[in-house]
A and B are shown apart, each in its own frame.
Chain A
Amino acid sequence: MKYLSFPGCSLRSTGRAYEESIVAVAKALEIQYEELKDWNCCGATSYVSIDEMDAFALAARNLALAELQSAEGTINLVAPCSACYLVLSKTERYLEDYPNVSANVNAKLNKAGLHYNGRVEVRHPLDVLVNDYGLENIAKRIKYPLKGLKVACYYGCQVVRPFSKFDHSHYPVTMDKLVQALGAEPVDWPLKTRCCGGSLTGTTQEAGLRLNRLLLKEAQKRGADIMVTCCPLCQHNLECYQERINRIYKEKIELPVAYFTQLIGVALGLSEKELGMQRLFKKPSLEHITHPKGEMANAW
């Protein structure tokens, strides 16, 4: 199966490790993963709140381009960043459900000589890996089972809400299942989809950090060695402010926060570099993760 990728801005800045690890994993799993040519900003959540129609048009351009890039059939456009995923999904849905919207948007697209025919399905890498590729197939290729590693899976708010395309909007389990398949032990905690603070960490920091802290603290309390997430903003928030949180709230939080794709990579035995591990502030201690034969994972 062939996939088009929509990196979005985050994966080219704070979330580079995310894209690097996705590409590496896709390669290792022999999944065709090709970048959407000439993609543009998804408009993120802010533009929609200013002018919905224009925002749709902006996002729809990417959908139209996707159709240009692959001739026929349904196109799986993979958007790893939660914001991109949500905005593109919403656009896709609205263009399908509301004739007036699609008419309006297509009129705008036509000016750029483009047209959207509704062939695109926006997908999240988590969905693709677990539901298309399949856990058994991943398990088959594991070199270094993540034995004894306790992982807190954090989904954030946008992947499963409001469109719960591939998992329950209140209690998602896809990432937990994946982590289990990798040989690790998912930590059962109820905060999987609670707010990470989002952009508040940059605006009303106090509020942002408070929310942020609840997550980290609970995960650590439940014995997590590492937290994995599927959203660049969440990863950034949860990883970067730990020092500050410890200082302000007198906490002792020491929790590596990685992308779920990096974890897969480790299990598959990909190198630290390929997975962009060096970009993490806190390097997960994975020493105990060894090859059945005893030799250590080459990355560690």
Chain B
Amino acid sequence: MLLNANLEKKKTMSTIIEQEKNTNGWEPRIVAFFCNWCTYTAADLAGVSRLRHAPNARIIRVMCSGRVDPQFILDAFSKGADGVLIGGCHPGDCHYMEGNYKALRRMQLLKRMLKDMGIEEKRFRLEWISASEGERVKTVINEMTEQVRVLGPLGLPKKFKDWDKELESLEQAVHGEEEAVHV
């Protein structure tokens, strides 16, 4: 029997089990970077206006969407975020003149790269939400939560662990095989 195939089977089995474990009771975890002047203010407005929405987003306040370093997004994913949302001022309205354009340029390229890295597009979103658009904060967070829910967990930390299991699991397999041979 081919060892590879055998291992493949093992792996797939285990991943299936994992997924079941993950998905029951699992809630999407979204990290949101909101700019101080527009989107964070809009989130406050949503609060003041009691616009109830999904509790799945965790907001990190930055002064400008231009401060959002692509590293933050990758780091968030690698630490277990299922989705990342960035909120900035509308084009032309940036408190810092052009920070949001810089964000736009970076995120366009990052989006492409994430796609190549097998991370579904809907897990990453850039939104212009002005200080007056509390309603929009609600809609966007609800939408994104549902879209991510459909995609299921990304669960990179978990995956990293699984990948490293490869080392031991393959080792055992080898030694198993070798013993078998030596008998």
Q: Do chains A and B touch in the complex (CB under 8 A)?
A: no
